[in-house]
Amino acid sequence: MTTALSIKNLSKTYKGGVTALKSVDLDIERGEILALLGPNGAGKTTMISIICGLVRPSTGTVTVEGNDIVSQYREARKLIGLVPQELHTETFETVWATVSYSRGLFGKKPNPALVEQILRDLSLYEKKDSQIIALSGGMKRRVMIAKALAHEPRILFLDEPTAGVDVELRKDMWRLVKRLRDTGVTIILTTHYIEEAEEIADRVGVIRKGELLLVEDKAELMRKLGQKQLTLDLQKPLESLPETLSHFDLKLTDDGQQIIYSYDTQANRTGIATLLSALGEADIIVKDLDTQQRSLEDIFVSLVVEEKQ
């Protein structure tokens, strides 16, 4: 495979002394979808902003299909499309005008057929003559994607594209991302949603406090992240767990009112049915049950601990 984007030793310290990125190294292959996960302030947007020319790096280099983003910025930027996190749109322009404007900004001659196709793909064509101010938040988000696609980029950055959008738009967006990938576009998206990464990414990167903690194949990461917990509320408190349940991964809470069972959702069998049957045989009556998945941040923390160990 060919490298679409190569980041070497990229760091950014802002004027106030805040370090947003610490020596990040990352190679992204052409045609892959990379999901960058990380809590707010992790450095995801700073990294994207540097690549797109909005923020100056403190150290390091970035090349886009072999073009340095500083010395060969024209060639590099032509290949990049950016959908920023915030809804930045012209207020009084029409959808058609703003998308056509974006194409021109990137040095491409007008192509009404292509603009029409993009608008149709994003279910925006009916609104092509509407002023942007009259559109809903979801529609504005689509306009921003249309603008980013107007110059036919080879690398597309989607900075939290589905934050605050409804399920329908989220699924539309996932479909679009997959379609773009099929045409060879490399996609880097940042997200808080694990299911988003699970749905569309080929690889997942985890970034926290400016450090790229890991970049891993999605399947491998999902296996690591697949741990769930089943909490069983008991009718009568237990002093200790019976011997017959020792082969299950169980924990009894201090007050003896709950049993917590950890299991792997990716495994062929979760063991829940067997556990419930074993509890029945041991005359332990379950009043209620609940399952919990660790939050993304919990998972990040546990991954960091694992990596350090």
| Binding residues vs other proteins (CB under 8 A) | 14-15, 52-56, 73-78, 80, 82, 84, 86, 88-93, 97, 101-109, 147
In the complex with other proteins, the residue whose CB is nearer, 89 or 229, is: 89
In order, the DSSP letters of 212-229 are EEEEEEHHHHHHHHTEEE
CB 33 within 8 A of CB 10: no
CB 141 within 8 A of CB 169: yes
In the complex with other proteins, the residue whose CB is nearer, 153 or 205, is: 153
Tokens representing residue 197 in the block: 């990464």
In the complex with other proteins, the residue whose CB is nearer, 103 or 218, is: 103
CB 9 → other proteins: shortest distance, Å?
A: 19
Calculate the CA dihedral of residues 127, 85, 11, 207 and round it to 10 degrees. Answer: -120
CB 91 → other proteins: shortest distance, Å?
A: 7
Cα(248)–Cα(178) distance, rounded to whole angstroms?
A: 40
CB 17 → other proteins: shortest distance, Å?
A: 13
CB 22 → other proteins: shortest distance, Å?
A: 17
In the complex with other proteins, the residue whose CB is nearer, 73 or 195, is: 73
In the complex with other proteins, the residue whose CB is nearer, 66 or 73, is: 73
Q: Which element (helix H / strand E) includes 54? A: none
In order, the DSSP letters of 172-235 are HHHHHHHHHHHTT-EEEEEES-HHHHHHH-SEEEEEETTEEEEEEEHHHHHHHHTEEEEEEEES
CB 51 → other proteins: shortest distance, Å?
A: 9
CB 104 → other proteins: shortest distance, Å?
A: 3
Ordered strands of the 186-191 beta sheet: 80-83, 155-159, 186-191, 33-37, 203-208, 211-217
In the complex with other proteins, the residue whose CB is nearer, 9 or 73, is: 73
Q: Which element (helix H / strand E) includes 88? A: none
In the complex with other proteins, the residue whose CB is nearer, 80 or 197, is: 80
Cα(116)–Cα(128) distance, rounded to whole angstroms?
A: 9
CB 28 → other proteins: shortest distance, Å?
A: 18
Count of alpha carbons within 13 Å of 185, Cβ hemisphere only? 24
